[in-house]
């Protein structure tokens, strides 16, 4: 049974991660080679720093594409910190590497998932997380959230322990839809997490409350 909807930040930026962690709503972080390439400094040091800030699961991705290379890199990433999760792509070699690394007790996030069939294989290979990319499917006019719905159904049918980590979230509705479907986690860029707070009626309402309060104080004075 899912007890809580987790929110991960999809970024390698230490300042942004610290700011979201300070809000008290951050459960984890996902990175990928494109995100880490944007940040200064050594990527392994950065991953360690992220783990220290988040104190929760932090995904670091292998760049090797063959089984042996993925194992070597994955084992190295796993050793960086107790919170590290090894991210592997959903390829034949990635699934094989997921099975081996999971068997060694390493948490594995299988990424670049674009179909329920792929997600089924990741679960069978013992993945801790499956990352279906919703925004990139939407980009090619295929409903990304429908894929998530199907994955959630399949995993529930067989009580797979693999957590559904909705990735490539581009706007608050991806987050809301994921929560309605009972996905375990959404990872979103800092700007999308920021958008979750915003509602014009909240701002207008607050402004009016404060104006009324000040008016009453002025009358009493």
First to last CA, the chain: 56
- How many angstroms separate the CA atoms of 34 and 29, rounded? 14
- How many angstroms separate the CA atoms of 27 and 2, rounded? 14
Two structure tokens written together for 168? 């490539």
Q: Which is nearer to ligand G3P, 38 or 159 (CB)?
A: 38
Q: Of residues 173-212, which lie at the interface with ligand G3P (CB under 6 A)?
A: 187
Neighbour-count burial for 73-98, b at 16+ CB within 10 Å, e otherwise: bbeebbebbebbbbbbbbbebbbbbb
* Of positions 108, 168, 178, 184, contacts ligand G3P by CB under 6 A: 168
Q: Which is nearer to ligand G3P, 32 or 73 (CB)?
A: 32
Spot the catalytic one: 68, 79, 87, 211: 87
Binding of ligand G3P at residue 32 (CB under 6 A)? yes
Can 191 be counted among the known catalytic residues?
A: no
Q: Which is nearer to ligand G3P, 20 or 216 (CB)?
A: 20
Query: Count of residues for the chain?
Result: 221
Provide the strand spans (E) within the chain.
Answer: 6-10, 28-30, 58-61, 84-89, 108-113, 129-132, 163-166, 185-188
* Of positions 7, 27, 29, 30, contacts ligand G3P by CB under 6 A: 30
Binding of ligand G3P at residue 167 (CB under 6 A)? yes
**With CB under 6 A, what is the number of residues at the site for ligand G3P?**
9
Q: Of residues 119-148, which lie at the interface with ligand G3P (CB under 6 A)?
A: 133, 135-136
Q: Which residues bind ligand G3P (CB under 6 A)?
A: 10, 30, 32, 133, 135-136, 167-168, 187
Which residues belong to the active site?
87
């Amino acid at each position: 049974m899912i007890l809580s909807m987790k929110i991960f930040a999809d970024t390698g930026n230490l300042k942004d991660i610290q700011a979201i962690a300070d809000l008290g709503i951050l459960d984890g972080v996902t990175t990928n080679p494109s995100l880490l390439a944007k940040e200064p400094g050594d990527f392994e040091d950065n991953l360690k720093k992220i783990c220290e800030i988040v104190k929760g699961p932090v995904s670091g991705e292998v760049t090797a594409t063959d089984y042996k290379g993925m194992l070597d890199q994955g084992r190295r990433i796993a050793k960086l910190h107790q919170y590290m999760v090894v991210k592997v792509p959903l390829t034949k070699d990635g699934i094989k590497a997921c099975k081996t690394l999971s068997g060694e007790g390493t948490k594995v996030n299988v990424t670049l998932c674009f179909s329920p069939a792929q997600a089924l294989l990741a679960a069978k290979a013992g993945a801790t997380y499956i990352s279906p990319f919703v925004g990139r499917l939407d980009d090619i006019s295929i409903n990304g959230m429908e894929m998530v719905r199907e994955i959630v159904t399949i995993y529930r049918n067989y009580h797979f322990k693999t957590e559904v980590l909705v990735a490539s979230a581009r706007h608050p509705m991806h987050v809301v839809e994921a929560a309605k479907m009972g996905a375990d986690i959404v990872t979103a860029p800092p700007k999308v997490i920021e958008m979750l707070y915003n509602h014009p009626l909240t701002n207008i309402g607050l402004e009016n409350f404060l104006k009324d309060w000040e008016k009453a104080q002025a009358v009493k004075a």
